[in-house]
Structure 1
Amino acid sequence: MANYGRSVQTIRLFIIAFLAFGFLLIFSVSGDQEPETKSLVDQVTPEYATGFTVEYHDDYKVVTVSNPWRGSDELYTYVLVNRDDTPPSLGKGEEVIEIPSERFVSLSSTHLPYLPILGITDCLKGTINPDTISTPEVLNLIQEGKVADVSGGGTGMATGINMEKMIELDPDLVMTYATGLAEYDTHPKLQEAGIPVVVNAEYMEEHPLGRAEWIKFISVFFNKEKEANEYFETIKNDYLSLEKSVAALSTENPTVFLGNNRQGTWYMAGGNSYVAKLLNDAGADYLWSDDQTTGSIPLDFEVVYDTALDADYWLNPGTAKKLKELLGEDARYSDFAAVKSDTIYNNNARMNNGGGNDYWETGVAHPEIILKDLIKIFHPEIVPDHNLVYYQHLE
């Protein structure tokens, strides 16, 4: 009987142990199966940018670029698939891009500041117009001979690309921009050559944070969404905090106008433009704020003269670095109140020897610093310890 009792007890212990193991196995399996897709932390969702969307699926991403240039209704859709994975069935116009990119070529300097932020600078293998680049980490790679110049024979927007050099580099991703003009656009030629290319349309964004948010677009091609989210959240909070400080002011906003007279035409930023948004957020009364244009407005000198003669500030007057240089362009400039009150500032404090203006490079990635510069100009009491970074006073 004693042996029988011990046997029953042994059986009971075995059953209890078996059940306990079963419960542990169930919870373990359910825990492993829960994150079927990427966690929300590793996904990006645009808040301010309106030109791209990202959809996440179990083993691929779909990135869509809309409004790639002014007046365009074209869509570019990219299906991002991890290397060695089988891509899904494609819809009309969809292109497969293998990720993460390891041999990257950028055809715009505005993409470059995001590379060190995302920790992917070493992936860069080629770019254009290297003499105009300002991003330090990229300049180091260029000087070390690790980044090739793929510029064509043209200049400015018509620089073009050296297709022979591009094919030699064998990139797995080229990022460019589009204008809708055949003489400037490079993506059709790259597509014909079978080179993976995507269109980045950040320059179409009207909100400064919207432009900076294209770091999220770049991040998805490198699986660096987490880093992009962290960076954007930081600069967004800084920007909004500054904007809130300005909104709390009870003083009257100073008036401001932009640009300069070039060969008989004065190009003024539209009231719905990127620059106009910055001025508004910095607490300035932009004299063309009622205009609905997102681009530039061509005006006669007389129109600007009549409207802006008594304005408190004059910003972004072309390429001038000294007041004497600016006044040498047109003797009538001396009539403006901003000249008499010595309140002219230009956004060319960080020009390099190759003619590149860092305002349009790292400045795009740092709208919070540009905003702080503008607040320093219009309302210095809000940021007393700030020194101008992208702007300089014309003396």
Structure 2
Amino acid sequence: MKIMTQKSCKFLNCYLIFLLTVFIAGIYSGAADTTDLFPDKAYPEMATGYTVEYHDTYKVVQINDPWGRESENYTYLLVQRGEEVPDGYPDAEVFYVPVQNVVTMGVVHIPHISELGEIETITGHNGVKQVHDEGFQNRLSNGDIIEVGSGAVSMTSTLKMEDLIELEPELIFCVANGNKEYDNHYKLLEAGLKPVLTADWMENDPLARAEWIKFFSLFYNKEKEANEYFDEIKQNYNNIKEEAEQTNEKPTIFSGIDYQGGWYAPGGKSYVAELFRDAGGDYILGDNEETGSQMLDFETVYDKAYAADYWINIGYANDNDELLALDPRFAKFDAYKNGNVYHYNARVNENGGNDYWESGIIHPDIVLADLVKILHPDLLPDHEFYYYTHIGQE
């Protein structure tokens, strides 16, 4: 038998050390290649309009049935900047995150972006005068945001397409209705731009609508902030709801207004009706199955609402004079006679921008507190109205 010399042993040891080093380096290299770039995840708990799937270097976001017709779904591939676009998603629109240059088509997009601390990424907006957000208006005054349309979110004729294209936005947050003849969404696609549909308006629960802040956070890699925000809002909302559940009184409520021959009122399964219920109210159309706004005639509403305790949300009117100017018959309602008329017009700027339609979307807890203050003032004695005013009887 051949005995291994000391020199041979030394060579073998060196060779084994070399192999071990290469092996360990390979392990660390492989680990680096599979590092999760998104340690903070934000999955929807209550919102049903979208889903998100996380991978190490990208996210797959899908908008589900954005118009309630089971007709179209949209997939967005959010790839971390500096990483390669993965194969296997031929129909997905690709965006590199975090995004840095966006355009917003409606005021409903502003509060989510503002709350995430990303208002500086907005370079264009459709209907700048309608925005209430102070940070947005400051950037507008400084020339950092331009107007790309007159504000009718679903009418293509209002858009300034040349200005939009010149901005070269990475994406355009867009509200759409699925009508190809009038919809911004399709027009933007035809122009080679990259719209992102938001369908929070399809949610029938106030908290589900607020949870769409998580959707926006996906484009900014701010899932941690969105989770923390929503958890706090949800806790606040449920605490207030529990307060309202302590009372056996359920004041009756009617809502909306008659306009040009039709009374537009929230359906019984709408998010507004849910707010009324959670505030401890009895909505006169609560047994209705509609999830959106519905049109009724005056006589139908009067038969149901003439003796109702409260009239909440009066549409286009801001005071008693405007209310009766629209229709003198409104004075017949008991709620009007008793001075129990309330409206969400406490936070309106000089251009008509109403914060109820902005921050109210992501602050359903404050909206609920206002409603509880209206219906059960003794339950929240220290709360002061934030979005609502008491129209009363002058």
TM-score with structure 2 setting the length: 0.88
User: Using the alignment, how far apart are the partners of 2:326 and 2:342 within structure 1?
Assistant: 16
Deviation by residue 1:188-225 (Cα, 9 ceiling, x = unmatched): 22222322221111111111111111111111111111
Q: Which residue in the other structure is 1:10 paired with?
A: none
User: Using the alignment, how far apart are the partners of 2:321 and 2:248 within structure 1?
Assistant: 32
Query: Which amino acid is 2:106 matched to?
Result: S
Gaps of 5+ in 2: 1-16
The 8 Å contact of residues 267 and 286 in structure 2, kept in 1 or not, is answered as: yes
Q: Which residue in the other structure is 1:330 paired with?
A: 327
What is the Cα deviation at residue 102 of structure 1? 0.8
User: Using the alignment, how far apart are the partners of 1:53 and 1:156 within structure 2?
Assistant: 24
Q: Which residue in the other structure is 1:380 paired with?
A: 377
Query: Which amino acid is 2:213 matched to?
Result: I
The 8 Å contact of residues 311 and 337 in structure 1, kept in 2 or not, is answered as: yes
User: Using the alignment, how far apart are the partners of 2:312 and 2:369 within structure 1?
Assistant: 15
What is the Cα deviation at residue 157 of structure 1? 4.3
Q: Give the number of aligned pairs.
A: 372
Q: Which residue in the other structure is 2:4 paired with?
A: none
User: Using the alignment, how far apart are the partners of 2:153 and 2:140 within structure 1?
Assistant: 20
User: Using the alignment, how far apart are the partners of 2:384 and 2:181 within structure 1?
Assistant: 41
Question: Per the alignment, in what secondary structure is the counterpart of residue 139 of structure 1?
Answer: helix
User: Using the alignment, how far apart are the partners of 1:213 and 1:317 within structure 2?
Assistant: 27
Gaps of 5+ in 1: 1-17
Q: Which residue in the other structure is 1:5 paired with?
A: none
What is the Cα deviation at residue 327 of structure 1? 2.0
User: Using the alignment, how far apart are the partners of 2:224 and 2:182 within structure 1?
Assistant: 34
User: Using the alignment, how far apart are the partners of 1:72 and 1:148 within structure 2?
Assistant: 35
Identical amino acids, percent of aligned pairs: 44
Q: Which residue in the other structure is 1:354 paired with?
A: 351
Deviation by residue 1:148-196 (Cα, 9 ceiling, x = unmatched): 11115x7564363211001111111111011012344222222223222
Question: Per the alignment, in what secondary structure is the counterpart of residue 326 of structure 2?
Answer: coil
Kindly report which structure 2 residues correspond to 1:242-253, keeping only aligned pairs within 5 A, or say none: 242-247=240-245, 249-253=246-250
The 8 Å contact of residues 176 and 197 in structure 1, kept in 2 or not, is answered as: yes
Q: Which residue in the other structure is 2:119 paired with?
A: 121
User: Using the alignment, how far apart are the partners of 1:97 and 1:155 within structure 2?
Assistant: 26
The 8 Å contact of residues 279 and 368 in structure 2, kept in 1 or not, is answered as: yes
TM-score with structure 1 setting the length: 0.88
Q: Which residue in the other structure is 1:102 paired with?
A: 100
What is the Cα deviation at residue 34 of structure 1? 12
Q: Which residue in the other structure is 1:208 paired with?
A: 206
The 8 Å contact of residues 154 and 184 in structure 2, kept in 1 or not, is answered as: no
Query: Which amino acid is 1:162 matched to?
Result: K
What is the Cα deviation at residue 353 of structure 1? 2.3
RMSD of aligned residue pairs (Cα, Å): 2.5
Deviation by residue 1:329-380 (Cα, 9 ceiling, x = unmatched): 2222122110111100011222222222211111101111100100000011
Relative to 1, partners in 2 of residues 1:368 and 1:167: Cα closer, same or farther, differing over 3 Å?
same
The 8 Å contact of residues 66 and 73 in structure 1, kept in 2 or not, is answered as: no
Q: Which residue in the other structure is 1:289 paired with?
A: 286
Alignment equivalent of 1:276, drawn from 273, 278, 289: 273
What is the Cα deviation at residue 72 of structure 1? 4.4
Matched, 1:170 2:164: no
User: Using the alignment, how far apart are the partners of 2:221 and 2:161 within structure 1?
Assistant: 28
Query: Which amino acid is 1:387 matched to?
Result: E
Deviation by residue 1:300-346 (Cα, 9 ceiling, x = unmatched): 11111111110000011122221132122222212211011110001
